[in-house]
Amino acid sequence: MASDNFVDYVKIHTTSGKGGGGSQHFRREKYIPKGGPDGGNGGRGGHVILRGDKQLWTLLHLKFKRHIKAGHGVHGSGNLKTGAEGQDVYIDVPLGTIARDPETGEALFEVTTHGEEMIIERGGRGGLGNTNFKSSTNQTPRFAQPGEDGGEGWKTLELKVLADVGLVGFPNAGKSTLLSVVSAAKPEIANYPFTTLRPNLGIVKYRDYRSFVMADIPGIIEDAHKGKGLGLRFLRHIERNSMLLFMVPADSDDIKKEFNVLVNELNLYNPELLHKDKLLAITKSDMLDDELTEEVRSELPEGIPHIFISSVAQMGLVELKDLIWNTLNED
């Protein structure tokens, strides 16, 4: 997936349909000149509905379609005929899409399963026909209820990437390089910070035709939870991963400190992220000899499974995939 085609945030204007008005009709037939009221109800206005689609990975299809309108309900008619409902409009979105109120930032709902339908703008109710107002004291009501107006307004849609493994690290930790080596994904790779501005997804093939999905999350920096470096846009993608692979380069000044900073940023953003399974990969390890490797190993954080890898030298990648697969399926 080309990074330019990955859209994870859009703002759309939704307008639901107006409900049809109730009918004021009276029964008038050849042998019943003064029949009672028989006005039908109006049909409801069309809804605007979000629908989960597991085949979609991006909100790109909504980038240039900002205004979405549903159909109006049809007025009721005589002989107690109810008007047709307005046509609903369905917006297919990737799983992990969150709808928000753009003014308050309040999350309205999240679409998480294939085929799940959530109404983002409800159509107006249809009006009641005059037959509903007949009573012992008013045998011929000459009025009916108008249909309700539909709703309209701006909504924001945010996408949280769904993947088995999320790569977490500072810029230039080697995340994009790893993804490009173990999958068919072709993320942009360069020797400067924030090369990756959008998540990249790759399917990693494993033994016996099995596979798992890996997500290259844009690099985190200290104070990312405050929005620094677009941190909030980046961090939300980590929430939708089954496990986290922390990546720290072997040439880091202090690997343990760098790992702790990453963990702290996740904790300050959402403490529940730390309940996920975690692995630590020491990248660019081809520059270490056996003595340096043991020295680095002695300084690693305790209680976190770790592995030394080099994407360029194809070192430790098979063992990494084994470790990931076993962690994903250990239950």
Residues 6+ apart with CB under 8 A from 104: none
220 and 234 both lie in a single domain: yes
149 and 182 both lie in a single domain: no
132 and 37 both lie in a single domain: yes
Q: Report d(CA 283, CA 316) in Å as an integer.
A: 10
Q: What is the chain's pLDDT, residue by residue, as a tens digit (331 residues)?
A: 444 556 778 999 999 999 999 999 998 877 777 788 999 999 999 999 999 998 887 888 898 888 999 999 999 999 999 999 999 999 999 888 999 999 988 989 999 899 999 999 999 999 999 999 999 889 889 999 999 999 999 999 988 777 789 888 888 778 888 888 888 656 444 443 434 445 677 888 898 888 888 888 776 655 544 444 444 556 777 777 889 999 999 888 888 888 998 888 888 888 888 888 999 999 989 888 888 888 888 888 888 999 999 988 989 999 999 999 999 987 5
Contact 186, 179 (CB under 8 A): no
Beta strands in the chain (DSSP E): 9-15, 48-52, 67-69, 89-93, 97-100, 107-111, 117-121, 152-159, 163-168, 200-205, 211-216, 241-249, 277-283, 306-308
Q: Report d(CA 244, CA 278) in Å as an integer.
A: 5
Domain that holds residue 269: 163-328
Where residue 89 sits, what CATH number does that domain have?
A: 2.70.210.12
Q: Report d(CA 250, CA 292) in Å as an integer.
A: 10
Q: Report d(CA 249, CA 284) in Å as an integer.
A: 6
**Is 63 strand, coil or helix?**
coil
152 and 244 both lie in a single domain: no
139 and 221 both lie in a single domain: no
Which helix H or strand E contains 175, and what residues bound it? Answer: helix 175-182
154 and 205 both lie in a single domain: no
Confidence (pLDDT) at 129: 95
Question: For the stretch 240-275, what's the b/e string if a residue is b when 16 or more beta carbons lie within 10 angstroms of its beta carbon?
Answer: bbebbbbbbbbebeebeebbebbbebbeebeeebee
Confidence (pLDDT) at 86: 96
50 and 133 both lie in a single domain: yes
23 and 153 both lie in a single domain: yes
Confidence (pLDDT) at 189: 43
Q: How many domains does the chain have?
A: 2
185 and 294 both lie in a single domain: yes
Record the tokens describing residue 314, joined without a space: 């194809």
249 and 204 both lie in a single domain: yes
Contact 219, 227 (CB under 8 A): no
Question: For the stretch 154-169, what's the b/e string if a residue is b when 16 or more beta carbons lie within 10 angstroms of its beta carbon?
Answer: ebbbbbbbbbbbbbbb
Could you tell me which of 326, 315, 324 has the C-alpha nearest to residue 165?
324
29 and 133 both lie in a single domain: yes
Please identify, among 107, 126, 159, the residue that sits at the C-terminal boundary of a domain: 159
